[in-house]
Amino acid sequence: MIDIEDALGTCPIVAILRGLEPERAEEIGQALFDAGIRVIEVPLNSPRPFESIASLARLLGDRAVIGAGTVLTDEDVRAVAAADGRLVVSPNTDTRVIDETKWCGLISMPGFFTPTEAFQALAAGADYLKLFPGDAIQPKIVGALRAVLPPDRGIVVTGGVGRDNIADFFAAGARAVAVGSSIFKPGKPVEQIGADAAALIAAWRDGVPH
C-alpha cells in the first residue's frame, strides 16, 4: 500500500471530486491514476460519497491514497474509515475531528487560514495543513507560514489553484496543492478529466527547477 508521502512525492496534486456520482467513480479514478494523480478526495457533500470512496479504494487503494473532504463530524470520520478511506480533509480546524481521525489510524488534513489555527491543528495531531481558501492569498503567504511551521508538516494549498499559478505556490514552499474544478466537474467527459489532470501535472513539472 502506497504511503501518502510517496504518493505526493510522485505527484503533489490532490484531485478533489466534488459532486462525483458513485456510478462514475471507477472510470474517473482510473483516468486520474493514468494521468499521474496519486491522491484523490471525495467531498462528503457529493452524492452517496461513501459509496464512491469504497469503489475508489477497491480499485486503487494499494496504489493511491483515497479519502474524503468536507469532513465535519466524528461520525463522518468513522464512516470514512468504514469505507476504507485513508485521508480525512476538512475545511476547518476542529480538534475533535482531528482526534477521531488519528484514533481511527487515518491521515489528518484539517483546513486553516491563520497561524493560530495551524498551530492548534498541529497540537491536535494533524499530519498536513490545508491552507484554505487558496484564492484569497498570495503565494508569498505560504513562504511566511513555512518559516514558522515545523518542516515535517506540509502545507496543502486548496482553492483557486490552476495551471497559471501552480508553480508559484510550489516555489513558495507548498508541499502539495488540492485542485477541484480545474480537473473535475459533474458531467465532464472522462477523457477531458484525464487530459486536464495531465496538463496540470505538466504545469507543475515545468515549474520545478532543473
Looking at residue 207, its pLDDT comes to: 77
pLDDT at 210: 39
Q: How confident is the model at residue 209 (pLDDT cuts 50, 70, 90)?
A: low
Which residue bears the cell 484564492? 135
DSSP annotation string for the chain:
---HHHHHHH--EEEE-TT--GGGHHHHHHHHHHHT--EEEEETTSSSHHHHHHHHHHHHTTTSEEEEES--SHHHHHHHHHTT--EEE-SS--HHHHHHHHHTTPEEE-EESSHHHHHHHHHHT-SSEEE--GGGS-HHHHHHHHTTS-TTS-EEEESS--TTTHHHHHHHT-SEEEESTTT--TT--HHHHHHHHHHHHHHHHHHS--
Asked whether residue 12 carries a pLDDT value surpassing 60, the answer given is yes
Average pLDDT over residues 150-170: 93
Catalytic entry in 130, 185, 188, 191:
130
d(CA 97, CA 134): 22
With vertex at residue 204, the alpha carbon angle to CA 203 and CA 209, rounded to the nearest 5 degrees, is 110
Active site residue 191: no
Among 5, 21, 41, 75, the active-site one is 41
105 residue type, one letter? G
Structure pTM? Answer: 0.96
Is 188 a known active-site residue? no
